[in-house]
Structure 1
Amino acid sequence: MLKGLYAWAMNLAARKTAVWWLAIIAFVESSIFFLPADVLFLPMVLAKPRKAMFYATVATVASVLGGIAGWYLGHYAFESVARPLLEFYGKLDAFEHLKASVDYETIVLLLITSGLAHLPPIKVVTILSGAANISLGLFIVTAIVTRGARFFILAGLLQRYGESIRHFIEKRLGMIAALVASALIAVYAVYIFVR
């Protein structure tokens, strides 16, 4: 499945409208959709490394705007919109558990883990932030830093290592995703245990 998604993204990245698709996917990923922007961002940067920082800017701005939309969903439309979305994705129970114990510090940690490996998915964190009445200003600053770090670090690495990293990713995509997810789950578990 990952290889098919990767091939689809490589095809989409070659289109003239790829930047618009990147913005749309980054926006909806942060509020309502499951597909991470990386599936388009990575091939676009690999195809045009000179535009890496431009693509990182587009992805960051769209992702933060999508996060703000998710915050508003959680804050003002939880019962009518956010609850059905979370039920659809099977995330309502996890969401309710998080909501009961969330504070700003936890939101920052969740933004970092979801920003690096989509654990939990960013849309859950944005909706949770609004539903838990986390300050919108603090949420925006945190989202800019964490989402910006993700896209700009990836852009820098891809720009520097380019084609060799592309072959590495293509051969080991499933293993990379599993390792990153496992590492971030371990970091999160240690944080919860120590806290």
Structure 2
Amino acid sequence: MKLFRPLYEKALHWAAHPRAEPYLAGLSFVEAIIFPVMPEVMLGPMVLAKPSHWARYATVSLVFSLLGALVGYALGHYAFEALRPLLGALGWLDRIDAQVAELNAIVQQSPWMAFWALVVAGFLPIPLKIFTWASGIVGVPLLPFFASMVVGRGKRVYLLAGVIRLAGPRAEAMLHRWIEWIGWVLVALIVFVVVYFRFLH
């Protein structure tokens, strides 16, 4: 049964849509606040569809991720206690609490140590909202926080877009050939991680 190739081809179709850029901006913005889908799922196909626009698309994603990060920071700082029941119902509370405890310890040593921790975090395939909310809850100083978002998310979107731009048609041909295997391997990894942390760890 082919599942991921049709989805990938649909993503390429939407990536070439005249309103693809506003969609990317909106996805990048809400992902930094609450949405679970990372903008790379749209950024990658958009660069494949129009390789010459790679820097523009990466910049759009970065700018709106930064705006969303500021909103997520403000919500974490001012509204976290009121939203704890909702976050618990969504299953995010444990991750946010763990990130808060870790960031608290780092901020106590130095705000700029928090900068480096968030730079590393911005490159990981973890939803940005976890870090934006946690930073607001802890009260990471705004300058180190914003700088870390610029560097961490920036290197991620520009690296992805740049690699796809350089690989060009070869990347598209490879993805078409291996997308089913890649998709099912990722599903298996996600299931393994969930089972490990929920039942075995």
Compute the TM-score of the two structures, normalised by the length of structure 1: 0.80
Structure 1 residues 176, 136: CA separation in 2 closer, same or farther (over 3 Å shift)? farther
- Structure 2 distance, partners of 1:7, 1:113, is 30
- How far did residue 41 of structure 1 move? 0.4
- Structure 1 distance, partners of 2:42, 2:137, is 30
- How far did residue 111 of structure 1 move? 4.5
How many residues are aligned here? 179
- How far did residue 40 of structure 1 move? 0.8
Structure 1 residues 99, 176: CA separation in 2 closer, same or farther (over 3 Å shift)? same
- How far did residue 24 of structure 1 move? 0.3
The residue type equivalent to 1:70 in the other structure is G
The residue type equivalent to 2:148 in the other structure is T
- Structure 2 distance, partners of 1:123, 1:72, is 12
Structure 2 stretches lacking a partner, 5+ long: 108-112, 194-201
The residue type equivalent to 1:101 in the other structure is E
From 37, 40, 56, give the equivalent of 2:39: 37
Structure 1 stretches lacking a partner, 5+ long: 186-195
From 183, 186, 193, give the equivalent of 1:174: 183
Compute the TM-score of the two structures, normalised by the length of structure 2: 0.78
Match of 1:92 in 2: 93
Structure 1 residues 35, 51: CA separation in 2 closer, same or farther (over 3 Å shift)? same
Asked if the contact 1:115–1:122 (Cα under 8 Å) also holds between the matched residues in 2, the reply is: no
- Higher Rg: 2
Match of 1:127 in 2: 133
The residue type equivalent to 1:25 in the other structure is L
- How far did residue 131 of structure 1 move? 0.3
Structure 1 residues 6, 69: CA separation in 2 closer, same or farther (over 3 Å shift)? farther
- How far did residue 145 of structure 1 move? 0.8
The residue type equivalent to 2:39 in the other structure is A
Q: Percent identical across equivalent pairs?
A: 35
